[in-house]
Structure formats: C-alpha cells, structure tokens
Structure 1
Amino acid sequence: MTQAYSKTQTSFYRRLYLAHLIDAGVNTVPAIIEATDMPRRTAQDTLNALSELGVEIEFVGANKNGHYKVVSWGPINPQWVKSHHSEVKKVLGYL
C-alpha cells in the first residue's frame, strides 16, 4: 500500500529538496528540471516560493550562463535536509 502525502508536506519537501539541489551544485533551472523531471513552471514557482520558508537564494551571473546559490537557509537545518534527502525524494516520488 502506498502512503498518501498531503499537498502541504509535498510542497514543503519540494522546496527543501530544491534548496538542497542548489547547494549541491544542481543550480540552474534546466539542471533542476533534469534532476527532478518537474515542469519548468513548477521549478520556477518553487524557486520563488523558497523565501516563504525563510530560505534566501540569489541568481548569480548572466541570464544565459548564471546559476542560483543559497544565501541563507534561514530557520531550515541544511544538515537535516542532506541526511534525510532519500526520505524527501521518496515523498516526492523521485525514488
């Protein structure tokens, strides 16, 4: 039996996972799309929503060859995200 997860939990985990990917060097929209198979609009909306969690990101460089970087994780513990990324991926259906 597959466990159902709430939209709130999957949205929260999606944001955590994107911040983790950016920190790990998967830091462009095309790279995020390739790693997660999420639609471009979902990736962009999720990047924009990170600030709602207190996670600050910034875009560095020119539009064509720039990338995102995490400036501050705010109240989120990045070590927790790193050590639980398999669980996060499972909830999101990436495993």
Structure 2
Amino acid sequence: MLNSVFARRLYLCWLISNNERPNVPKLMALSGWPRRTLQDVLKALPGMGVELVFIQQGVRNNDGYYQLTHWGPLDARWIDLHRDQLLAAIEQG
C-alpha cells in the first residue's frame, strides 16, 4: 500500500504535467485540497529531486503557473498508469 503523503506528491506531479498552466487555484480545484496542503506538497517536491519552476505571468507576484521541468527519480509513465491507486491511497490517508 502506498503512503498517502508520498501518493499526494506523485499525484501533484501528474496534475502539473497534465494540465495547461496549472496555478494554485486550478490545482486546488482539480485536487480538492486546501491551499495550505497544496502549498506544502509543492514545497516538498524539490526535496524528492523533482525540478519545478514557477512561470511568472502578469503584474501581480503570484500571477503565473507551475511547470515540471524534470521528474528526478520518478517515473512519469508509472505514475500515469497507477493514478487510480494514488488517488485511493490519498483518500485512505
């Protein structure tokens, strides 16, 4: 069984890479997670070797979106194939 914290991180990588211009409000809507949870998971991704950048657009400081530039040790194909298992682990956690 997958750890729900780890599953959240994997699923967020999947969401970022499979949605156009994923910003915090869009990721909140897609995941159903509160802002703080989402921000905590975003902050944890670089510690796993995942390279994530924020693309600034607009005049406000937080206008923009996230882009996954390198999966690090993660396998994007595995995550795509096991997305339902990730969601189940998140729901159980």
TM (norm. structure 2) is 0.85
Q: How far does residue 32 in structure 1 lie from its aligned partner after superposition?
A: 1.1
Q: How far does residue 10 in structure 1 lie from its aligned partner after superposition?
A: 0.8
The aligned counterpart of 1:33 is 28
For residues 83 and 91 of structure 1, what CA distance do their matches in structure 2 show? 15
Deviations 1:3-62 (A, max 9, x none): xx68xx111110010010000016111111111111101101100100111111000023
The aligned counterpart of 1:82 is 80
Aligned residues: 88
Aligned match of 1:92 in 72, 90, 93?
90
Which range moved further: 64-73 or 46-55? 64-73
Q: How far does residue 76 in structure 1 lie from its aligned partner after superposition?
A: 0.4
CA RMSD of aligned residues (A): 1.8
1:16 equivalenced with 2:14 (yes/no): no
| Unmatched segments (≥5 aa) in structure 1 | none
Q: Residue type of the partner of 1:87?
A: Q
The aligned counterpart of 1:57 is 52
SS in 1 for 2:33: coil
Q: How far does residue 64 in structure 1 lie from its aligned partner after superposition?
A: 4.7
TM (norm. structure 1) is 0.84
Percentage identity across paired residues of the two chains: 35
| Unmatched segments (≥5 aa) in structure 2 | none
Aligned match of 1:44 in 29, 39, 42?
39
Q: Residue type of the partner of 1:79?
A: R
